[in-house]
A and B are shown apart, each in its own frame.
Chain A
Amino acid sequence: MIKFLKNALHNLLSASYPQSKMLAALLLLVAVALSFAPFLFQGTVAYNTYTKICIFIVLVASYDMLIGYTRIVSFAHTMFYGIGAYAMAITLKQLGPQWSSVMVGLSLGLIVALLAALLIAVFSLRVQAVFFSMVTLAIASAFAILISKLYTITGGEDGMIIRTPQEIGPAFKLVAEKVLGFDVIQFIAAASIDPSNVERHFEAAFFKFYFNGKTVLYYGIFTLSTLLFLLMLRWMNSPFGRVLQAIRENEFRAQALGFSTVYYRTLNVCLSALVAATAGAMTALQLKYVSPDVTLSFTIMVNILLMVVIGGMGTLYGAVLGVSLFVLAETYLQDLMAVVYSKLGEDFVWAGLFNPDRWLLWLGVLFILSVYFIPRGIVGELRYRAEGRRIKAAGLVKDDQL
């Protein structure tokens, strides 16, 4: 039995284990929290947050395939994300909110994303890696202009509101009765403020909610995200992924070993674009709204970069931690800044630094600092330390300390 479970885990994770107890614990925490999210967190804000975390884990992990595993810096990832979202939204608008249009929208998004990825790869992967960054930046901005110019179809800068199939809307009830949930946040908050009455807080934290279409949608997104994430783990730990890493370490040598590096890089860009487009399609279904601001803006691209770097490049698990931390911090940081701002008052010269609208400033600073001080990211750092302990326990000296 244990052997079977071990085998199953080995196959699920494609033999890419966390390699650090702390990391395993954190990942498990995120996995458990996301699996039971509707039962553990109450309210619309929480719903939007955990759904966003699911979708962004997929999006950021697909970006990690490029930047972390192959050292390709693309600025067009939001374009693929946007293609998926807009394809879904436009199809639902034109064909009506049925499941068949969802399937058509998804396939359309995948096809267009694949074509765009091929086009970009053909134009720019032949030359230097830096070229690719610049070309993708230019093409992504042209695509954003295109979307806002085609306002008759896309709604332009204002975006478009769409209707989704009723099975994933709030009116649909999967179970007629309300089901029981337990609000962890409320419980922890109450128990830490007033530890004497833990039992009473425990009872007060239970809440009832309808298992409605939104919950169904969440579980759909959660399942698809998990599958895609495991699929990416499989890709990156297969011989294909090893070749990508070889290209990252030394392209010339990989070529000398007989691998057509252009082919591998092109394939990687295409796969990553397909996953990003799927993430975009999920976003369109969840928000029921698409606009250049939520799918195509450069800010989102920067956020993706930040999440990959903070989480740890070239690990995929980094995406899980990076996204979870970032999405939580995004709301949290702004609240914190609002508090500081109101304390300082308008008169103080430097108060402008803490205006909640300037939260990107602090993210930028955080970004630069994390590139300098934790270049491996959280995951890389945890693995590095765990490895150090293992080596020490075995009585050896680490390579880089020799």
Chain B
Amino acid sequence: MSEQTISSTPGRFGRLYQGLTSIDFVGRRKIWFTVSALIIVAGALSLGIRGFNLGIDFKGGSSWEVLAPHATVQQMTNAAESAGLSQPTVTKLGSSTFEVEGDLNALSPSQQTNVTDNVVNAMAKVAKVNSNQVSTSSVGPTWGAGITHRALEALIAFFIAVLIYISARFEPKMALAAFAAMVHDLLVTVGVYSLFGFQVTPDTVIAILTILGYSLYDTVVVFDRVRDNSRGVLNNGNMTYSEMINLSMNQTLARSINTSLVAILPVLSVLLVGAYILGATTLQNYGLALFVGLVSGAYSSIFIASPLLAVLKEREPRFKDLRLRVASRTDRLVLTPAAAAAMTNERGTTTREAATGTARSNVIQARARKQKRR
């Protein structure tokens, strides 16, 4: 072999970059499934015991915000209490924004207006600004339920539309696997919110819906490659369905990692710059849910959706047969993406001849098939 470029053994990143990975995603599925199951069970337990940390949008209540660089939490608390707000919660957001929360829903509407105005004036006085500089928000006790209801409607409609679309464009089993990955992301995000006591707001609900779209987007890209390969590579008869999925996964791994990074970087920036430094709560709410969900979504499209698809497909008679036939062959190959690319060319799907020699010998890595099945 004239394998100069390869024998220099690139590092992990280099192997990914050059398409030399051959990670057995399907074979190790029990590890991935167990990790996810643990997180989901922990989340479910926490949800059962502690529930959610619901924001005022769900409980009902009022909140006030003002920019007051020179005030203290104690001053704000005193001001809010003397203005007639019982048990106010005062938090400092970012470097200079103060948020006061309290519940006025027990009062009559006119009293609510009065107390709201009093608190506005009191906070403006502490912050030494005009009362127009104080932001207010008041939420009735049924608002959150309404939002949740709409979100559930959107969620169900989305699930149905997605199942139909993937079934039509790809196939029903892929729809099922993609659906499972989405449910996984939903459960993980919900569980993480309960576990860490992050506050749930309507923004969180929106963000979760977005994540599901994104997770699916990620999965669709991988499945698109699986579909391509199931036409090409599979017909050779020297690869089982699972191995074909592994190949597809390794082929799209660089993409998956890049895409996830590219998606997570701005969201992380929203979370850090927007929320913690500058104290914009809406950004913080979105950023947190998106961050948790994107990480889960990146994980599920790699480690849940595709292995699950392999499990589902391997039950079909023709792929069982294929598995038997493949097992009887001796010229088994575990392909790296680079090797598979070279093979496609070798089979003559195009007429290019230049440079194939080096490329092919560079990258095919023959390797004994693992006998052990976990």
Q: State yes or no: do A and B come from one complex.
A: no
